Amino acid sequence: MGRVVAELVSSLLGLWLLLCSCGCPEGAELRAPPDKIAIIGAGIGGTSAAYYLRQKFGKDVKIDLFEREEVGGRLATMMVQGQEYEAGGSVIHPLNLHMKRFVKDL
């Protein structure tokens, strides 16, 4: 569980830094958005990064998603004796307001 939390925090921190760096303080020159952005992994961090970057930059920026074979990453379910169980995503909690907003946005 600690590794999942660390990966999620790392992904969201990277996204936050990228989005904040695109802001413009008063009197500063506007910078053009990047032409391309690479995202590694289609887990919750990579998927949310792709979503919010697309919202920020629109279709003018090419977003490449690498290592995307398993969309959802650790957010998976498995069948055991006819019952479906959660196999990951233990950091997703109903009190996580950022996650609730992300799910609502989708």
What pTM, to 2 d.p., does this model score?
0.54
Q: Residue 87: give the domain boundaries.
A: 35-106
Question: What is d(CA 76, CA 102) in angstroms, rounded to the nearest whole number?
Answer: 18
Considering the domain boundaries, does residue 91 fall inside one? yes
Per residue in 51-60, pLDDT (tens digit) is: 889 999 999 8
Q: What is the pLDDT of residues 4-13, one digit of tens each?
A: 555 665 666 6
- Assigned domain for 41 exists: yes
Q: What are 55's strand-pairing partners?
A: none
Give the number of domains in the chain. Answer: 1
Contact 40, 46 (CB under 8 A): yes
| 4 inside domain | no
How far is it, in rounded angstroms, from Cα 92 to Cα 42?
16
Provide the token pair at 101.
């907003």
Pair 54, 21: CB distance under 8 Å: no
Domain-embedded: residue 25? no
